[in-house]
Structure 1
């Protein structure tokens, strides 16, 4: 990749490991530090709208949303100004941090940015029985667990495909999770905008609030943190949608698609040139096979306790 227009390098470009979908590098030049992301365009789950997303990012940055400055997008490469900050661990954040995220979402949803019509969500997959058979035939370490959960995964797919969304539909980030956030002086910085697009508001708020209010599993969910996201959203001028299971449909549907994508990568048995390394895909599948049934089983409880 030719990045000479970013300045004269003052050291080698270094790989930043840990990405779930793409590959990240840091480049330091005489013009500053840059985050260079190599997009996985080989087997993306939905087409990447580089121009639309970049325009949305530029509008968000201009509006003062705390985020890295977007520099350029094209040819499978994204460049942002590097931002230093602390990683946000996968555990409940403080109520103050959650409140700020809610305010950020309210500001984001007020932006008037053109967006081309088209599909922003992937079709719900229902081929779990065949995937389980292939996993068994290829000796995947989680094949038995997946086989046992085929019925549950089909029920999840049915729920995601039929759950009524109350609206409104908003243009938004769609993936505010702990691993897509930094804390700079204790305040949020929103990273990784590639999945931006149109989404039912309840799905965005439910996914964001739940991810920030829990740890890696579902044994430690802090209702006060969940509610702080919603309070911040309302304080920022947003109107909360009606309570219901739709608040969790997008999160569980996105996780379902992510697990399937990694299952297919593991079945191929060959590490692709882009995207996550094979061990990370194996980890994602095992986590989903164990965690998705738990989340699905708790949707009625979460709806009652978090949205009352």
Structure 2
């Protein structure tokens, strides 16, 4: 993308570290400040439907959803207006913040936007024993953890493939997590829309509510904050789906795929030119190997939140 269309730079473009999938830069010009996201094209885990996502973002912004203004998009680069705000820590948010997130989700789901791609779900990978063997052979620092949890990861993959999703399916953001939010004057701003698409409603609500109701790990879940997200959704005109494990299957399946993707990056042992740095991939693997079995073991308790 020719970035000169956004004005004359007033300094060098600066990388903003911390992205789990792509790379972000800040561009300051005589026309303002822009967030320039370089998409990882080398080994993307999921297909990015650039035209549909950009149209969805524009509709959401026009409807008043609190988010950065989408400026331009092509298959390699996304540009949004830069938004100042505070990072949202991985800790239970305030009840008011949670309610507003629920209302935002209801407004997003009510948008009338054409989406030309169906919800495609491929069978979950079952190659965890092979990955464990490769990790041991190459001396990965987390090889022991992976070997000890291989059967658990196979059980998780089976759960993801067989869990019944009751519907309805909605067009939505799909990734409202603390690291994809800013707080501006104490109110949420929703970032990083490129995973947008069709998703079972329970999976979207469960993933969002749980992420905002807990700290790192699963020992500090605040049920009142979880319920506040759902209360906000209902207040915004949404209808809750029936309770069940389907509320958490999208979160578990997404984290499983993300962990496997980072394992493959670590096994390749190459500092890629796009996507997360290799050190961040190792960190993501270690978090997944420790956190996913814990999350999976707590499913019965999590269902009591509903």
Give the TM-score category using the shorter length: over 0.9
Unaligned segments of structure 2, at least 5 residues: none
Per the TM alignment, residue 121 of structure 1 is displaced from its structure 2 partner at its CA by 4.3
75 and 197 in structure 1: CA distance in 2 versus 1, 3 angstrom threshold:
closer
**How many angstroms apart in 1 are the aligned matches of 2:164 and 2:121?**
15
Q: CA offsets, 1:174-198, max 9 Å, x none?
A: 0000000000000000000010000
Name the structure 2 match of 1:250.
250
Give ranges in structure 1 of 5+ residues lacking alignment: none
Runs of 4+ in structure 1 deviating by more than 3 angstroms, as ranges, are 118-123
Residue 99 (structure 1) aligns with:
99
State the aligned residue count.
306
- Cα gap change, 1:122/1:21 in structure 2, threshold over 3 Å: closer, same or farther? farther
Q: Compute the RMSD of aligned alpha carbons.
A: 0.8
Q: Distance in 1 between matches of 2:120 and 2:181?
A: 22
1:90 aligns with 2:76: no
TM-score (norm: length of structure 1): 0.98
State the alpha-carbon separation in 2 of the partners of residues 21 and 117 from structure 1: 22
Match of 1:288?
288
**CA displacement at 1:122 relative to structure 2:** 4.9
Distance in 1 (CA, whole Å) between partners of 2:171 and 2:44 is: 20
Q: What is the rounded CA distance, in whole Å, between the counterparts of 2:216 and 2:121 in structure 1?
A: 24
Change (3 A) 1:122 1:275: farther
Q: CA deviation at 1:45?
A: 1.1
Deviates more, 1:181-190 or 1:116-125: 116-125
Q: Is the contact between residue 46 and residue 122 of structure 1 (CA under 8 Å) also seen in structure 2?
A: no
SS for the counterpart of 2:25 is strand
Q: Structure 2 length as normaliser, TM-score? A: 0.99
Residue-by-residue CA offset, 1:229-282 (whole Å, 9 max, x unaligned): 000000000000000000000000000000000000000001111000000000
SS at match of 1:302: helix
Q: How does 1:237-276 map to 2 (within 5 A)?
A: 237-276=237-276
In structure 1, how many angstroms separate the alpha carbons of the residues matched to 2:274 and 2:188? 28
Confirm or deny: 8 A CA contact 1:12 1:27 kept in the other structure: yes
Partners of 2:212 and 2:225 within 8 A in 1: yes
